[in-house]
Amino acid sequence: MKPNKLRLFCSLLFLLATVGMLSSCGKPKGGQKLSGSARDTTLVVAMLGDADYLNPVIGSSVTSANISGLIYPSLLQSEFDTSTGLLNYLALEKSLRPVTNAEGARSPRGALAKSWSMAPDHRSITYILRSDARWEDGKPIVAGDFKFAYRMYGNPVIASPRQQYLAELLGAEKGAVDFDRAIETPNDTTLVFRFYKPVPEHLALFHTSLTPLPGHVWKEVKPQEFRESRINMRPVGSGPYRLAGWSRQQEVTLSSNPSCVLPKPGNIRRIMFRVVPDYTVRLTQLQTGAVDVVENVKPEDFGAIRKANPAIEVRTVGLRVFDYVGWSNIDHDWYHKTGKIRPHPIFGSPAVRVALTHAIDRESIIDGYLGSYGTICNTDISPSLKWAYDDTIKPHGYDPALAAKMLEREGWIPGPDGIRQKDGRKFSFTLYTNAGNDRRNYACVVIQQNLREIGIDCRIEMQESNVFFENLQSRKLDAWMAGWSIGLEIDPLDVWGSDLDKSRFNFTGYRNPRIEQLSELAKSKMRIEDARPYWVEYQQILHRDQPVTFLYWIRETHGFNRRILGSVLNISGTFYNIDDWTLKPSANAVP
């Protein structure tokens, strides 16, 4: 070899070695060896971002909750009854309501509790636990594990996002839960929770069924080191899956847990959650079959996906998310300066807000963007919560003539430039929204057009999400477009409470004592169904006052590869029964 060629050869060799060395640095740790076609026995789910903690106490993202739910056991199984919109709770030998035999009904065998009994005064609930459940390391799951976990949930140093669940436990009324009295464990299979006030049974079940932690694994960890502990990277659970590997910001790999009896090892051998930050790429991967599930596929892409790969189907879940246009009901500047309330000069009158709703063509926004995946929204109670939803409310239809007449009645008369005026003030404002959301962008433009037609000047401004949220919170915006994702328990006081310092999400400044009264009355009912009349009146008031213009409910849509069998989606989540799913080519590959 000539020296020059030798040099070139050596350089190439060096380069390859460097790349090889660097590449192997990123090699996933802890992955299992696989034989045969790994893809046949692996379900791949694309996710937008990595899980934060695979620890039920501190995990805060939806991804974390989805994955933790597969690793950890749960006290009760919950199922969402789509015919009523009520949550049902199941223990091994007891259920809150009769079990539905509908598709996707949960097996109670996944529950740690054998049964429960609510005290007649509704001030305590006693669970009897099964004795055959074990953690992955072979240690039994005992009542003490729950007490231990609740101490962690309630520790202010750990700052669990779920500490609200402890709000009715003894001592919470004085600011700190008295764990010794609030949670008792007379023996390993008896668990008692005590409340400082009577709590309806469904709420008691909801709030006492937080996931336990293996006390023996965590007991040496100091609270201030809880978040940074290395144990977070190797969780000890007992669910249908266990953590097989976690390459941060790349993928989380779960493998079916053969020793699981809660209720059984997962059918699919491996589940891989891969981080794919870009939407277009997630979609392309779904089309090429590199991933099996992509959440939140946009309606405008359905056609292309189906055409590209007939093996892809679009699945929908219930209505949980809505967009709205918020109007400042009160003059926020005045409130910031003086602490006093006076109506907002433009949006302060309910009649003006109703007129605005009439002026906005919500149907055409839905037709133009969401198609059959959107439906008109009247209030913040979802049509999926059938037990509470008032279906007699007639939506404020698109009627610019009526809107103009209402505005004139309120004194807003068109000025020389065509823009309406009242007492020298123009009907002119800026509509703010967060940047990077195509749907809201589209809706904003339609709204701007609609309002211009009746002589209202609306400018649009997109803000970076953090900035937008901070402005919203500090009530600096007069008009904005945003959205809410509702919980399965109705609790609207954070959004509509009259005490503006306490109600952090009352961005509009809407104040109506009857709304608060109704919420309290509804929550005090020991049977949830008895609260319906209060929620019906609540919806009628919101519909009449239009503190915001509710735009549309969004049917969340997810892309699924048809090789997944047995999946049932509903409002409580895309991965509701993932441990029951199977994969077509390997449907018989159950371990």
Which residues make up the interface to other proteins (CB under 8 A)?
A: 15, 18-20, 22-28, 31-35, 37-39, 42, 44, 49, 52-53, 60, 156-157, 159-164, 167, 227-228, 232, 247-250, 272, 274-278, 280-281, 284-285, 287-288, 290, 308, 465-467, 469-471, 473, 484, 487, 491, 494-495, 504-505
- Smallest distance from other proteins to CB 447, Å: 25
Q: Is 257 exposed, middle or buried (0-12, 13-18, 19+ CB in 10 A)?
A: buried
- Smallest distance from other proteins to CB 278, Å: 5
- Smallest distance from other proteins to CB 427, Å: 29
Please report which helix (H) or strand (E) contains residue 514, including its range. Answer: helix 513-524
- Smallest distance from other proteins to CB 571, Å: 15
Instruction: Say whether 375 sits in a helix, a strand or coil.
Output: strand
Of 161 and 533, CB closest to other proteins: 161
- Smallest distance from other proteins to CB 215, Å: 22
DSSP code, position 195 = B
Calpha distance 497→501 (Å, rounded): 9
Calpha distance 473→56 (Å, rounded): 28
Mind spelling out the 3-state secondary structure of 435-500? CCCHHHHHHHHHHHHHHHHCCCEEEEEEECHHHHHHHHHCCCCCEEEEEEECCCCCCCHHHHCCCC
Q: Name the token pair of 590.
A: 């159950």
- Smallest distance from other proteins to CB 537, Å: 22
Considering only CA atoms, which of 318, 382, 387, 383 is closest in space to residue 528?
Answer: 387
Query: Residue 521 CB: number of other CB atoms within 10 A?
Result: 16
Of 164 and 187, CB closest to other proteins: 164
Sequence letter at residue 142: V
**Extended strands (E) in 119-166:** 124-129
Of 180 and 278, CB closest to other proteins: 278
Q: Long-range CB contacts (< 8 A, 24+ apart) of 156-161? A: 157/223, 157/224, 157/226, 158/57, 158/58, 158/223, 158/226, 158/227, 159/58, 160/57, 160/58, 161/58, 161/60
Of 229 and 540, CB closest to other proteins: 229
Query: Residue 419 CB: number of other CB atoms within 10 A?
Result: 15
- Smallest distance from other proteins to CB 354, Å: 26
* Residue 520 Cα to chain centre, angstroms: 24
Of 158 and 183, CB closest to other proteins: 158
Of 65 and 99, CB closest to other proteins: 65
Of 258 and 487, CB closest to other proteins: 487
The phi and psi torsions of 10 (rounded to 5 degrees) equal -60, -40
Looking at the DSSP assignment, which residues form a beta bridge with residue 532? none
- Smallest distance from other proteins to CB 68, Å: 13
Calpha distance 4→34 (Å, rounded): 44
Of 6 and 159, CB closest to other proteins: 159
- Smallest distance from other proteins to CB 100, Å: 26
Of 27 and 527, CB closest to other proteins: 27
- Smallest distance from other proteins to CB 186, Å: 29
- Smallest distance from other proteins to CB 443, Å: 22
What dihedral do alpha carbons 360, 361, 363, 366 form, nearest 10°?
-70
* Residue 111 Cα to chain centre, angstroms: 23
CA angle 248, 254, 260 (to 5 degrees): 145
Of 272 and 325, CB closest to other proteins: 272
Of 67 and 365, CB closest to other proteins: 67
DSSP code, position 323 = E
Of 37 and 517, CB closest to other proteins: 37
- Smallest distance from other proteins to CB 109, Å: 29
